[in-house]
Amino acid sequence: MTEAQISLLDSGGDGTATLRNAVRQCLDEVRRGGAGPDTATETCGGSLAVIAGIGTTAAGALRGALLLDALTARDVEPADTVHHPDPAALLADRSWQLALVLSPWKQQVADQLGILTASATRTTVVDTVVRGADGPIGVNTNSWAAQAAMETVLGGRTPADILILGAGGSSNSVALGCRRAWPGVRLLGSARDAAALDRWAARFGAEAVAPSDLKALCAERAPALIVNTTTWGETEESESRPFAFDFAELTRPGNCYFDLNNRVSTLQTTALRAGMNVMSGTFMQRVTNACRAALLDASAR
């Protein structure tokens, strides 16, 4: 399946406008599915909402400043937040209007919902659930958020090739963002889980490369953009284990590195020292939470 080219980058380089473009596309995607509220017009106004969360870091995410800032911008106030232990408990609870779905549940929740947006269907990943007229709707906001971040870090450049490290749920969202922004890009992926990597490569028309083969593949031309979708670097503890890839061999001055993790990790500092343009996951999370706030606001109208 070939994605239609959609760029989110504002021609004037305005990051706020790029964020708004991503939010608009996400809202329109829900509307086109015909299952949710009419989100053609973005609305604002005071409202209360119960927000649920599921996943290893959900308790913190529900209290996070990035989510609260996005809700405040929409004049939406959390009446309560609820943290559930698993998908069954989340979907059995009818008190919430919006749910955050974090690792390791993004693909499992997608399997249990009857209504998914096109991006959620394409990636088999759901990171947000919103109550719709016909039931809960599984939404993949991360694909729009990752695309906005990648287009921003590249500064309008069209990459010849992109390397995605990791083959978990987030790698699917990143790959879809790549395919929308640059349909013809050479998309490479590498991961320790060969079976998961092969499935990912087949889904997005990408090339699967074993970690041990990356150095030789990139010897003549390093990828214009490297994206880390693994959790290595998310915490200090994660960095106590060896990284699966010889990262320094992949870096080149002038190229770009995007890390989905917010923490300033060894990978980010290595890329900076190599003269690369580097972006952490903070902007992506800002876009994701802006999409969530907009969906919640629209569902309340």
Is 8 a domain residue? no
Let me know whether 161 and 96 are in one domain.
no
The answer to whether residues 155 and 170 belong to one domain is yes
Treating both helix axes as pointing N-terminal to C-terminal, what angle do 142-154 and 169-181 enclose, rounded to 10 degrees?
60
Task: Say if 5 falls within a structural domain.
Answer: no
Q: Do residues 49 and 103 share a domain?
A: yes
Bridge-based pairing state of the strands 225-228 and 207-208: unpaired
Res 56: pLDDT: 87
22: CATH:
3.40.50.10860
- Residues 206-236 have pLDDT tens digits of 999 999 999 998 888 999 999 999 999 998 9
- Is residue 131 a contact partner of residue 51, using CB atoms and an 8 Å limit? no
Q: Residue 34 half-sphere exposure, CB side, CA atoms within 13 Å? A: 0
Backbone angles phi, psi at 177, to 5 degrees: -60, -40
Same domain, 148 and 276: yes
Please tell me whether residue 79 adopts helix, strand or coil conformation: strand
What CATH code is carried by the domain that includes residue 155? 3.40.50.720
Domain total in the chain? 2
**Are residue 154 and residue 54 in the same domain, yes or no?**
no
Are 144 and 291 a contacting pair, CB within 8 Å? Answer: yes
Torsion of CA 180, 292, 92, 34, to 10 degrees: -60
Contact 96, 82 (CB under 8 A): yes
Residue 57 lies in a domain: yes
Q: What is the mean pLDDT of residues 3-13?
A: 79
Domain containing 68 equals: 15-141+284-299
CB-CB contact of 165 with 227 (8 Å): yes
> How do residues 241-298 score in pLDDT, each as one tens digit?
999 999 999 999 999 999 999 999 999 999 999 999 999 999 999 999 999 999 998 8
Residues 164 and 268 occupy one common structural domain: yes
Q: Clarify whether residues 199 and 210 are in a common domain.
A: yes
Residue 2 lies in a domain: no
Neighbours of 34 (CB within 10 A): 10
Q: Which long-range contacts (CB under 8 A, 24 or more apart) does 234-240 make?
A: 234/261, 234/263, 234/265, 235/263, 239/265, 239/266
Q: Are residues 183 and 268 in the same domain?
A: yes
Residues 69 and 88 in one domain: yes
Classify residue 243: in a domain, yes or no: yes
**Element spanning 291, H or E:** helix 282-299
Residue 230 lies in a domain: yes
Length of the chain: 301
Indicate whether 10 belongs to any domain. no
160 and 246 together in one domain: yes
Token pair, residue 80, equals: 């309560």
Say if residue 154 is in the same domain as residue 274.
yes
Q: What whole-number distance in Å separates Cα of residue 4 and Cα of residue 253?
A: 31
Average pLDDT along the chain = 92
Domain for residue 3, yes or no?
Answer: no
What is d(CA 139, CA 29) in angstroms, rounded to the nearest whole number? 9
Nearest to 274 by CA among 292, 249, 293: 249
What average pLDDT does the segment 144-151 reach? 97
Per-residue pLDDT band for 299 (boundaries 50, 70, 90) equals confident
Q: Are residues 21 and 122 in the same domain?
A: yes
Q: What pLDDT, on a 0 to 100 scale, did the predictor assign at position 133?
A: 85
Ramachandran class of 59: left when φ > 0, alpha when ψ lies in -120 to 50, beta otherwise: alpha
